[in-house]
Amino acid sequence: MNLKESFHAFKESDDFFVSLARDILTVLGAVLIFATFSQIVFGMWTPMVAVESGSMEPHMNIGDIVFIQSIDRTQVITYEEGTDDYTSFKSYGNVILYKPYGQEGVTPIIHRAMYYVEEGESMWEGGPPAPHSGYITKGDNIVTNKYYDQQGQVSYLMPVKEEWIIGIARYKIPYIGYLRLMLPSF
């Protein structure tokens, strides 16, 4: 049997195990195509995150899936810089995904980059000096996020260093993230 005949037999077989192998190969092929597309477009193998809290409401809601573009492929535009002519998720500047305090293995934060401060500069009007250069961030929810992250528990007194940024939010799909949020974390 030559290769063409073997492929045809594999494709047309009614055997349970052959059918299972076909299904597994189809799923693996689809995942590989998606991952390759994601790497090319977003610069990441897994460019999606599920929104877990209401801190970005009304622009991002719990259960939204957000597509993230790798920080290596773009640059941050802050709220302050964006007031001239740049909006993202219905407000000025970029929404960034970052590792709080640069820690690995913790849930990343998705908040808006408000402005950039240099080391020693006041982090906000009347605030303490920044221990290092970085971004001052804040959630869009005006009820739950009245203060900058650096004024509260999210990133207390620590501007977000550039190397802590995973990427920039680009698109969202509402509600699909609920599926991810229902699954246990591994």
What are the boundaries of each domain within the chain? 3-42, 48-182
* CA-CA-CA-CA torsion sign (145, 151, 155, 156): negative
Window from 4-18, 46-60, 77-91, 120-134 with minimum mean pLDDT = 4-18
**CATH 3.90.1300.10 for domain 48-182:** no
Question: What is the pLDDT at residue 178?
Answer: 78
Write down the pLDDT at residue 1: 67
Task: Respond yes or no on whether the N-terminal peptide bond of residue 58 is cis (omega within 30° of 0).
Answer: yes
Q: Which amino acid is at 43?
A: G
Residues 19-77 have pLDDT tens digits of 888 888 888 888 888 777 767 766 766 778 999 999 999 999 999 999 999 998 899 99
Is pTM beyond 0.85? Reply is: no
Q: pLDDT tens digits, residue range 122-153? A: 999 999 999 999 999 999 999 999 999 999 88
Query: What distance in Å separates the CA atoms of residue 156 and residue 123, rounded to the nearest whole number?
Result: 11
Q: What is the pLDDT of residue 26?
A: 83
Q: Strands 48-50 and 65-70, how do they pair?
A: antiparallel
The reported pLDDT for the residue numbered 45 is: 64
User: Which whole-number Å values give the CA distances from 103 to 22, 154, 155, in the listed order?
Assistant: 41, 12, 11
Q: Tokens 């969202």 belong to which residue?
A: 172
Pairing of strands 65-70, 87-88: unpaired
Residues 151 and 173: their CA atoms lie apart, in Å, by 30
Name residue 98's beta-bridge partners: 109, 165
